[in-house]
Amino acid sequence: MSQISIGGIMEEVITSEEFTLEKARKVLKDEIVAVIGYGVQGRGQALNMKDNGIRVIVGEGDYNWQKAIDEGFVPGETLFPPMEAARRGTIIQYLQSDAGQKAMWADLKPTLTKGKALYFSHGFSIVYKEQTGVIPPPDIDVILVAPKGAGRTVRDNYLAGSGINSSYAVFQDATGRAMERTLAVGLAIGSGYLFPTTFEKEVYSDLTGERGVLMGCLAGVLEAQYNELRKRGHSPSEAFNETVEELTQSLMPLVAQNGMDWMYANCSTTAQRGALDWKNRFRDAVAPVFTELYDRVANGKETEIVLRVNSQPDYREKLQAELDTIKNSEMWQAGAAVRSLRPERRKK
């Protein structure tokens, strides 16, 4: 296990050099990993494990059944209905949506016989057990590996030869092997670095991040700037280029590679001065919103909304309507037009 120092705080990290894929294969040689749900995370993790030589089977219903077949899983051999896969598996990757986990729990629980491991990539169902009803039997391991990216990124990074950062945690160790099982699966799904956490910390940070900087806050701030530029007479393409295109295509790659300070240092002096002068004003303006957001995550109010809305029978239709509103907005129509000009799009 390695250590990194961040502002004088020592943090542990496990790398793929320390816990190698060869070691992961040895730990998992007698295991069957059953991936329940061939969706956003399930697909990426299942395919990576399959390519890494892990015995993996998929449990899926009608929704992504054909997709799993198209990508190499064989009905009756490596592809089964969810409960059949769960019965066959020794490590059960419970990768349904959060609402789906609640709905399926009564059927899944009897398949969790002594010595198995129940694996999550999100601490939601365990942390909010009063609302989900997900309370595992005491004689199984309960473990977590949470990739810090979408399932598509998990797969794309693997195919590109790079790993993804993941958090890991053990909630319940019934076998004495929970930690080695966790790390082995973490490496097998394509993690390059594994950072320790707890189920609670993972879900609190994840829900805050999704609603905050990663998605909700980002989308809202982009809309606010775009709308202001349009209101002031700028064309759609100019407003989009100054709001989204330069951010995603130029600046964020520099931040990812070298940090915010390096990006600032390599911009014009006018941009440097303006960014430094306004950074704290934006920080202070949104700080109360983040406090409210974290409180709502911690007290379960956000969970209540997720479970109520995502459990509605017309959820997918309502979701698509909301996504279509974004897609059809002027800003993202401008985005589609600008992206069509990129060389890789013109070649298609």
CA distance 89 to 185: 14
Residue among 129, 223, 227, 130 nearest 172 (CA): 129
Residue among 223, 131, 112 nearest 174 (CA): 112
CA distance 132 to 188: 29
Among this protein's residues, is 122 annotated catalytic?
yes
User: Helix 301-310 and helix 199-211: axis angle, to 10°?
Assistant: 70
Residue among 183, 92, 81 nearest 134 (CA): 92
The amino acid sitting at 246 is: E
Question: Collapsing DSSP states into helix, strand and coil, what is residue 188?
Answer: helix
Task: Please state the three-class secondary structure of 23-82 as a single string.
Answer: HHHHHCCCCCEEEECCCHHHHHHHHHHHHCCCCEEEECCHHHHHHHHHCCCCECCCEECH
- Catalytic, out of 122, 181, 211, 230: 122
CA distance 152 to 237: 29
Judge contact between 47 and 155, C-beta under 8 A.
yes
Q: Which residues, other chains included, contact 116 with Cβ-Cβ below 8 Å and sequence gap of 6+?
A: 89, 90, 91, 92, 140, 141
Judge contact between 111 and 86, C-beta under 8 A.
yes
Residue among 48, 144, 151 nearest 92 (CA): 144
Q: Annotated active-site positions, please?
A: 122
